[in-house]
Amino acid sequence: MEFISLKSPERMEKLRALGKLQGTADALQEGIPAKTPASRFARPERPAGLDPRQVICLIDANKFYCACERVIDPSLRGKPLVVLTNNDGCVAALTPEAKALGIRRGMPAYQFRRLVEEGKVEWRSSNYELYGSVSKNIAAILSGMAVRIERYSIDENFVDITGIPGDPTALGRAMKERIYAWQRIPACVGIANTKTLAKLANHLAKDWPVFGGVINWLDLAPHRQEKAMSITPLKEVWGIGSRMGEALQALGIQTVLDFWKMDPLFIRARWGVVLERT
């Protein structure tokens, strides 16, 4: 899917104004522990193929189905909540409060019926019309703050902010805050110069609350980037499926850092150009 161009003289004036926002958080927090395992298939040198001028955000709504249900029923906020599949057969989404009770995604509904009967957890049937409407609203909000957007999924949007003056982190925070203010949907933002790295930064933003839900990969010093990759499982790399992940793990590649250190020529010879580009 290609980016949809949203560039116009009027919108660019608004974006320049947004670009004057000041940063509100330190992206170089010391909270990520150090761990740097060696790879058996080390790259000869770090490639310089990335375009540092490109800036991409991935905005991902947190617990989207549950968040939408809380929008129309504020009494659900703070309570354990699960959203069931179409036939109410199993769990499609759940909140951290429900997860703390031992409920898991994909769990059959009958397995936690007692918790429902005891009033310890709330449940709702899937309402895809509602979720689709909220998703469109979020895309509309972002379209007023970006050069181009791509609706990747119902709860994820890639946003191109290349060329917008000011601090990208501040703009990412402004997007997150506006989505919550206008739609009451919490979100996390990952910022980088490729979609793959933006996805990784978004994953880290979810796992590390100290960053306030926004991580700008471009602001992290190289040793911070390596530490972040060293504690992130290989499965979090966008585009690596289960079978490919198992093949890589059989070679001792367990983390994102292990994968990043591999020789691109070896990857291309064994798996092709797509994984080499990843």
Q: Parse the chain into domains and list their residue ranges.
A: 64-127, 232-278
Q: Percent of the chain having pLDDT more than 90? A: 66
Q: Between 145 and 3, whose confidence is greater? A: 145
Range with lowest mean pLDDT among 35-49, 65-79, 148-162, 163-177: 35-49
pLDDT band at 241 (very low <50, low <70, confident <90, very high): confident
pTM for this model (two decimals): 0.77
The phi-psi region of residue 95 (left if phi > 0; otherwise alpha if psi is between -120 and 50; otherwise beta) is beta
Residue 213's pLDDT is 95
At residue 129, what are phi and psi to the nearest 5 degrees?
-65, -40
Classify domain 64-127 by CATH number.
3.40.1170.60
Residue 50's pLDDT is 55
How many Cα atoms occupy the beta-carbon half-sphere of 35 within 13 Å?
13
CA-only gyration radius of the chain, Å: 20
Q: Is the sign of the CA dihedral 156, 272, 204, 213 positive or negative?
A: negative
Residue whose C-alpha is closest to residue 93's, from 124, 120, 129: 124
Asked if the model's pLDDT at residue 1 lies above 50, the reply is no
d(CA 22, CA 175): 14
Q: Between 91 and 243, whose confidence is greater? A: 91
- How much is the average pLDDT of 240-259? 89
Asked if the model's pLDDT at residue 20 lies above 70, the reply is no
Residue 19's pLDDT is 42
Residue 30's pLDDT is 33
Residue 25's pLDDT is 32
Asked if the model's pLDDT at residue 40 lies above 80, the reply is no
Asked if the model's pLDDT at residue 229 lies above 90, the reply is yes
Our CA dihedral for 35, 39, 43, 48, rounded to 10 degrees, sits at -30
Give the residue carrying structure tokens 């060293």: 230
pLDDT band at 9 (very low <50, low <70, confident <90, very high): low
Average pLDDT, rounded, for the chain? 84
Beta bridge partners of 173: none
Start-to-end CA span in the chain (Å): 17
Tell me the CA distances in angstroms from 270 to 12, 42, 263, one per residue in order.
Answer: 45, 15, 11
pLDDT band at 86 (very low <50, low <70, confident <90, very high): confident
* CATH of the structural domain 232-278, one choice from 2.40.160.20, 1.10.150.20, 1.20.1090.10, 1.10.3470.10: 1.10.150.20
Residue 51's pLDDT is 60
